[in-house]
Structure 1
Amino acid sequence: MTFWRIDTPAQTLVLGTDGGMASCHYWGAPLPADADLAALVAAGTGGITGGMLDALPPLSLIPEARRSFPGQPGLVAYQDGAPLEPEWRFEGADQGEALTLRHTAPGLRLEITARAMDHGLIALSVRLSSDAALTLHHLALALPVPPHLSHLTELAGRWTREFQPVTSALDHGARLRDARTGRSGHEHPPHLWLTAPGTTNTTGEAVALHYGWSGGHRMLVETLPEGRRQIQLGHCAGSERAPGTAFATAEIWLARGDQGLNSISVPFQRAIRDRLPPARQPRPVHYNGWEAIYFRHDPAELAQIAERAAALGAERFVLDDGWFGRRDDDTSSLGDWVIDPRKHPQGFGPLIDKVHALGMRFGLWFEPEMVNENSDLCRAHPDWVLGPADQIRGRNQLHLDLSRQDVGDYLFDRISAILTAWDIDYVKWDHNRLTPWPDAAQTRGVYALLDRLRAAHPAVEWESCASGGGRIDAGILTRCARVWLSDSNDALERLRIQHHAACLLPACATGSHVGPRACHTSGRILPMTLRAWTAAQRHMGFEMDPRELTGDEAATLTRVTAWWKANRGWTQAGDIWRLDRPDGALAEMQLAADGSRLVIFAAQIETQTALQPPPLRLTALDPSARYRLRMIERPCGHPASATAITRGEVVLDGASLMAQGLALPPAFPQTVAVIEGERL
């Protein structure tokens, strides 16, 4: 048996082969440099008992049906109409910055690559090539699930309610999901974790896996008859629709930690932040006019709104849907990326001049992948539509086939012409309709178009929006510096969504806006204090008609925006540490990269169960350092409720703040406490 190992400060991965397909023999806590890997594997190998085969079929990195493997195989493909079940032979290994294990079978080659990443992560991927064309249904890498990690948490959701964790116990059978909507999805974002019993945000062992692909994924977690468990990740089944001779998975990122969910979340935040494309610094406060005007574009009204937004502190003005073709509602003009002269008779010039005079930059909305049947483009090129003519429409629109070079060329020319003609430094790239079927070539076409536009317009920033948070993954986040996390501007929903999305997303990449007084997606009316501080926890912006604000609301929003601007230099470069709170409350701590500054946001969403909330225990501090804390936003509550932090500054060592914590005043629902801190 030949072994290789990939080590990071947080985890060790041991791979090995006896001449056939390589397997993962260990994935867990870091091992000593001189660990006897052969003895490790031997000590962990189970025996044979009644009702079993005479030998245990290997759980290889690509589980093989031909080896009598009792679970789901990692490769399902067909050649000349027959199932492809190759007999893999190990050919060799290349180890430099990454380890590549090479396997061969008649007419086939398979390369599995593993590499250590920054921040304690490990990455895995596989590439399959063939001398003759084959039809690929499914290709996935498989890892063993450590048996003591008994709970699986997936992220589920829907439009306006993304990133909702769902936890289940792993006891028997299989858990399969095939995300087939053509994007990462509200329903099944490609991120999950496995935990030991009792794991919280701050304590317990956990591992996490992320599939960095924007076109839908397939996840399998399976308990085999003898008790072993496997987890597989790859593209969603059937998404390689055309026969071919070369196929590859995206990278799977692995994290592991024994200090709770934070120990597997902060490494992902850092890795995503490091790989974001360049963006304007400092990060500007956004104003997006969608929920103020929708399709109603009147130059005089836009000028008034711009003046008010700038007075509140906005630094970038984004013009959303409705500026092109004859786009008076969502039934027409997608694909016709020409400015509507009825709404903007002089083009964008007057509005951009106004925005610039107010000290703001100008951004613009596109939905490049889509077309309306009522459009010049669809009338000229009905063959450019992806899918059958009788498919169900979504938002009155259809998908363009971005696997076609002529479609990509057309979109590049039209979008590039707009970006060349006008001083635009930001594009909100939207995606409001599911694909008619999963298609990996479509995703590759989106990547190619984005890459081409970014190369042609390096000063333009790009935001990923897909009806809100429908396309958020490591693949799109190497191309877009920001994501629109949700179409919900309801602060209570936002608090939950962005809190759970911190399992992956850093603050600087997460758009969060202050919405209208009466939320357009929930109907709820929430206090400005909660709405403003919720947006200030991420990349802050506004998305309402600023003319509706009362004097008090405007003063609160201006104050919180000024705080965000004064602190964005370190908050947007720092980490989000989620804190443990009772049900009905959420709390986070943002910590500067050098640990010198922190801010705590503690929201009371529902009525407290107990009269007194438990002390808020912090995390990730230097135990021996002293910290000065002060409350800058006191939550609404009983007038007589007071604690040390409401009376003045508190100075405590890090060990005490993490062991005992800080007593917060009892608070009413829909309120938030904000506490600043510095290391002395």
Structure 2
Amino acid sequence: MPIRFHEATKTFHLYNQHLSYLMKVLPGGELIQLYCGKALHDRPDFDHLFECRPRPMSVCCSEEDDALSLEHLRREYPTCGTGDMHLPALDARTPAGSRLLALTYREHSIVPGKPALEGLPATYVEAPEEADTLRMVLADDRAGVTVTLYYTIFRDFAAIARHAEIGYTGPGTLELDCAMSLCLDLPDADYEMMELTGAWARERQIVTRPLTAGVQGVYSLRGCSSHHFNPFLALARPGSGEIAGEVLGFSLVYSGNFAARADVDPYHQTRVTMGIHPQNFCWPLTTGQTFTTPEAVLV
């Protein structure tokens, strides 16, 4: 279950015998996602998976390149104010009132095992050789914001555990209004969304519906996950079943206000976000403080 970093192409490959997860750092420092699915053989260059083409009425990163738009790139931890029109993973307000954050790659490290998630429920391993963890640091130096993304891939399971730590080193107080545990951009919307809902004495009813344009999902504002809506989503290719098919599952290891949503844009690209519900959420950070999101598991 190695985690490989290919320096020449700035590509990260997390894989085991079941799955592969690929990320790439662009020349400007933006961290994007290339692939999530069945296991691939490792290679130094996966740039054939990078989709970048001009689209009308898009917000572009520069006048010289009308194909590079954060509105259409598959981003790992998107923020507000940089041209991305989808739901963000992070929305924060600086002391000056700005919500614009431009997170770029700073550094990374790879460690054996799975670090404990202090004060929060989480998956775990009993020996370091059962998992590897990638620690990815993104930063906006002007705003004094750092985001550390954790990805743990397990040796024997088709699963990746994720969470984020948001740190602040600037003056005054940074207010977090949204901090998701997981964000996953998918290149298409040909999925059926499965959710678990119910009520007293009829818990865990399976509800399936096709993805459509716009935002759909489940949430809870009851202060707990509850039997009304479970903090879980699955996206299945049409025709998938118990024995065969392609299914992505998302589960939040947390009981509290949560949101699990799929946002489909006009080009049929899908963004899945999962974490603490942003309604009534506001977490202040002063200089030197950090906030840790709950863990989410991608299967």
TMscore range, shorter length? 0.7 to 0.9
Aligned mates of 2:149, 2:30 — CA distance in 1? 10
1:89 aligns with 2:104: yes
Match of residue 188 from structure 1: 229
Is residue 179–residue 293 contact of structure 2 (8 Å, CA) maintained in 1? Answer: yes
Aligned mates of 1:40, 1:145 — CA distance in 2? 12
- Per the normalisation by structure 2, the TM-score is 0.77
Is residue 28–residue 146 contact of structure 1 (8 Å, CA) maintained in 2? Answer: no
Where relative contact order (Cα < 8 A, 6+ residues apart) is larger, the structure is: 2
1:202 aligns with 2:208: no
Match of residue 251 from structure 1: 295
Is residue 219–residue 277 contact of structure 2 (8 Å, CA) maintained in 1? Answer: yes
Aligned mates of 1:100, 1:85 — CA distance in 2? 24
Is residue 178–residue 237 contact of structure 1 (8 Å, CA) maintained in 2? Answer: no
Does 2-11 or 82-91 show the bigger shift? 82-91
- SS for the counterpart of 2:255 is coil
Does 231-240 or 178-187 show the bigger shift? 231-240
Does 18-27 or 240-249 show the bigger shift? 240-249
Is residue 189–residue 264 contact of structure 2 (8 Å, CA) maintained in 1? Answer: no
Q: Which string of whole-angstrom CA distances, capped at 9 and with x for unpartnered residues, describes residues 297-334 of structure 1? A: xxxxxxxxxxxxxxxxxxxxxxxxxxxxxxxxxxxxxx
Distance of aligned partners of 1:46 and 1:171 in 2 relative to their CA distance in 1, 3 Å threshold: farther
1:80: how far off? 2.8
- Number of residue-to-residue matches in the alignment: 252
Match of residue 43 from structure 2: 34
Match of residue 222 from structure 1: 263
- Paired residue for 2:174, among 121, 134, 150? 134
1:91: how far off? 0.8
1:90: how far off? 1.3
- Paired residue for 1:153, among 185, 194, 209? 194
Match of residue 60 from structure 1: 75
Q: Which runs of 5+ in 1 are unaligned?
A: 256-680
1:202: how far off? 1.8
Distance of aligned partners of 1:73 and 1:167 in 2 relative to their CA distance in 1, 3 Å threshold: same
Q: What is the one-letter code of the residue matched to 1:168?
A: R
1:17 aligns with 2:30: no
Q: Which runs of 5+ in 2 are unaligned?
A: 1-8, 60-65, 113-132
- SS for the counterpart of 1:230 is strand
Is residue 13–residue 27 contact of structure 1 (8 Å, CA) maintained in 2? Answer: yes
Q: Flag the structure with higher helix content.
A: 1
Match of residue 8 from structure 1: 16
Is residue 149–residue 206 contact of structure 1 (8 Å, CA) maintained in 2? Answer: no
1:236 aligns with 2:264: no
Q: What is the one-letter code of the residue matched to 1:68?
A: G
- SS for the counterpart of 1:66 is coil
Is residue 74–residue 186 contact of structure 2 (8 Å, CA) maintained in 1? Answer: no
1:156: how far off? 0.9
Q: What is the one-letter code of the residue matched to 1:88?
A: L
Aligned mates of 2:187, 2:293 — CA distance in 1? 23
1:175 aligns with 2:200: no
Q: What is the one-letter code of the residue matched to 2:31?
A: A
Q: What is the one-letter code of the residue matched to 2:20?
A: T
Q: Which string of whole-angstrom CA distances, capped at 9 and with x for unpartnered residues, describes residues 7-53 of structure 1? A: 12221100121243422211011111236312332xxx153243444
1:81: how far off? 6.5
- SS for the counterpart of 1:243 is strand
- SS for the counterpart of 1:119 is coil
- SS for the counterpart of 1:100 is strand
Distance of aligned partners of 1:243 and 1:159 in 2 relative to their CA distance in 1, 3 Å threshold: same
Q: What is the one-letter code of the residue matched to 1:62?
A: Y
Is residue 218–residue 233 contact of structure 1 (8 Å, CA) maintained in 2? Answer: yes
Q: Which string of whole-angstrom CA distances, capped at 9 and with x for unpartnered residues, describes residues 388-408 of structure 1? A: xxxxxxxxxxxxxxxxxxxxx
1:167: how far off? 0.9
1:75: how far off? 1.2
Distance of aligned partners of 1:103 and 1:46 in 2 relative to their CA distance in 1, 3 Å threshold: closer
Aligned mates of 2:246, 2:214 — CA distance in 1? 23
Is residue 133–residue 243 contact of structure 1 (8 Å, CA) maintained in 2? Answer: yes
Q: Which string of whole-angstrom CA distances, capped at 9 and with x for unpartnered residues, describes residues 123-143 of structure 1? A: 111110112432211112311
Distance of aligned partners of 1:8 and 1:148 in 2 relative to their CA distance in 1, 3 Å threshold: farther
Match of residue 89 from structure 2: 74
Distance of aligned partners of 1:246 and 1:207 in 2 relative to their CA distance in 1, 3 Å threshold: same
Match of residue 125 from structure 2: none
Q: What is the one-letter code of the residue matched to 2:21?
A: L
Aligned mates of 2:96, 2:221 — CA distance in 1? 24
Identity of aligned residues (%): 21
- SS for the counterpart of 2:49 is helix
After the TM superposition, which segments of 4 or more aligned residues of structure 1 sit over 3 Å from their partners? 49-53, 238-242
Distance of aligned partners of 1:40 and 1:175 in 2 relative to their CA distance in 1, 3 Å threshold: same
1:108 aligns with 2:145: yes
